Amino acid sequence: MSKNGQAPKEKPKFAMYWAAACGGCEIAVLNIGEKILDVDANFDVVFWPVAMDAKYKDVEAMPDKSILLTLFNGGIRNEENEHMAKLLRQKSQILVAFGSCANEGCIPGLANLSSMQEVFNAAYESVSTENPQHIRPQFSYQVPEGMLTIPLFYPVLRTLDQVVDVDYFMPGCPPESHQIAAVIDLVIAVLHGEAELPPKGAVIGVGDSTVCEECQRARNIKKITKLVRIHEVAEVDPDLCLLEQGILCNGPATRSGCGARCPSVGAACIGCYGPAVGVVDYGARLMTAVASVIDSTEPDEIEAILDGIPDPAGTFYRFNLAHSLLHAARPAMEEVIG
């Protein structure tokens, strides 16, 4: 139902697609509650694999630019992802990189630290995997009936904007439901001529600053003398900045918009909302910030404090690696270059 109770005659078309993603973004969309009915009232949902049956060939048959709004989540990990990204770009007027994977690569993007072989080893040969015949995926396989193929797996994961032109970016792992609802409200308002779309390339469903702005914890001049994991702290002060308690919190570098949900319940921000306005490399930003407030001038002591970060790449680049300046580590890049 639209706000003025009048549905347009021919409803604009809506699509949502998942590429290399966990499915959380889809859940987040459904999690907006009754607002989903507004989507249905205002849009004709033409393609949404998690919610309705549709074939790729149906999309291929649609006229170009016939879909008004496509929310695309997931990174570009294989040939199929790339095909769908390009296809939906061609068919959509507004393409939104939806959620951390499509924006920055997210957790799947961390595989860019490893070669394709290492990725397969982890998937098919780990201690917890039962695979006595050492079976690996074959991208094409001859059977009596003909050649079977599965989509080619790429050496590195790319973000949506590294593959196609993207109109808007909506970060979050997943985006917060209230932000999704707000964006949907905005698009509907635009449809009714009550609002204007933000400029192309804008990051939407976010605040202007970083998570600290939304965080209620008290803050002081930072001097870090130790870095610990949260379970190593006997008693976390509920009112004091986590970073000041030695718990590495990504809040200072992470775009606001989530409402500081993690720090407000005593868990450090892990950075799912991505970089702040204008920041090119999230991890580098956060690293220089943390390094700047290490309170020591003794190399050995600094080293010892930094040893408190068990997994630096996974901490500073947990969500952002595929979109960082580095993009991928050497083993993976070598496979790309050949």
Partner 1 sequence: MNDQAEPKERIGVYVCHCGSNIAATVDVADVAVWAKERLGDEGVVITHDYKFMCSSLGQELIERDIKEEGLTRVVVAACSPHLHEKTFRTACARAGLNPYLCELVSIREQVSWVHSDRQAATEKAKAVVAGGVERVIHNEPLEPLHIPIHPATLVVGGGIAGIQAALELADSGHQVYLVEREPSIGGHMAQFDKTFPTMDCAACILTPKMVDAGGHPHIDLFTWSEVVRVDGFVGNFTVTIRQKPRYIDTDLCTGCGICWEKCPKRVIDDVYEAGLGYRKAVYTPFAQAVPKYPVIDPENCTYFINGKCRACEKFCPTDAIKFDQEEEFITVQVGNIILATGFDLFDARRVPQYGYGRLANVFTSLEFERLCNAAGPTNGQIVMRDGVTKPELVAVIHCVGSRDRNYNNYCSVICCMSSLKFAHLVKERTGARVYNFYIDMRTAFKDYDEFYQRVLEEGTIFVRGRVAEVTDAARLPSEDGKLIVQVEDTLAGRQRRIPVDMVILSAGLEPRHDAKAVAHQFGISCSANGWFIERHPKLDPVATMTEGIFIAGTVQGPKDIPASVSQGAAAAARVLGRINKGEIELEPVRATIDARHCSGCRICNGLCPFNAIIFHEDAMVSEINHALCQGCGTCVAACPAGAISGSSFSNEQIMSQIEGLLLFDRPVRSRHFSAV
The footprint of partner 1 (CB under 8 A) covers 208-213, 219-223, 251-253, 256, 275-280, 285-286, 288-289, 292-293, 297, 323, 325
Output the CA–CA distances (angstroms, integers) from residue 94 to 23, 43, 212, 264, 323, in the order listed: 21, 14, 31, 34, 21
Q: How far is the CB of 230 from partner 1 (least distance, A)?
A: 19
- Residue 263's Cβ-count burial label (10 Å; 0-12, 13-18, 19+) is buried
Nearest residue (CB) to partner 1, 219 versus 330: 219
Nearest residue (CB) to partner 1, 227 versus 253: 253
Nearest residue (CB) to partner 1, 26 versus 244: 244
DSSP state, 162? G
Nearest residue (CB) to partner 1, 137 versus 201: 201
Q: How far is the CB of 247 from partner 1 (least distance, A)?
A: 14
Segment holding 263, helix H or strand E: helix 261-264
- C-alpha 171/C-alpha 63 separation (Å) is 29
Q: How far is the CB of 253 from partner 1 (least distance, A)?
A: 4
- Residue 283's Cβ-count burial label (10 Å; 0-12, 13-18, 19+) is buried
CA 233 centroid distance within chain = 30
Nearest residue (CB) to partner 1, 115 versus 324: 324
Nearest residue (CB) to partner 1, 63 versus 299: 299
Q: How far is the CB of 173 from partner 1 (least distance, A)?
A: 19
Strand partners, 278: none
Nearest residue (CB) to partner 1, 181 versus 253: 253
Q: How far is the CB of 289 from partner 1 (least distance, A)?
A: 4
3-state secondary structure 182-221: HHHHHHHHHHCCCCCCCCCCCECCCCCCEHHHHCCCECCC
Q: How far is the CB of 326 from partner 1 (least distance, A)?
A: 12
- Residue 252: which of 273, 229, 225, 226 has the closest Cα? 273
Q: How far is the CB of 277 from partner 1 (least distance, A)?
A: 5
Q: How far is the CB of 244 from partner 1 (least distance, A)?
A: 9
Rg, C-alpha atoms of the chain? 22
Q: How far is the CB of 199 from partner 1 (least distance, A)?
A: 13
172: CB partners within 8 A, 6+ apart: 28, 99, 100, 179, 205, 257, 258, 272, 273
Strands (E) located in the chain: 13-18, 44-47, 67-73, 76-78, 92-98, 140-143, 146-149, 153-158, 168-170
Nearest residue (CB) to partner 1, 142 versus 297: 297
At 247, which amino acid appears? I
Nearest residue (CB) to partner 1, 151 versus 198: 198
* First vs last C-alpha separation in the chain: 53
DSSP state, 324? S
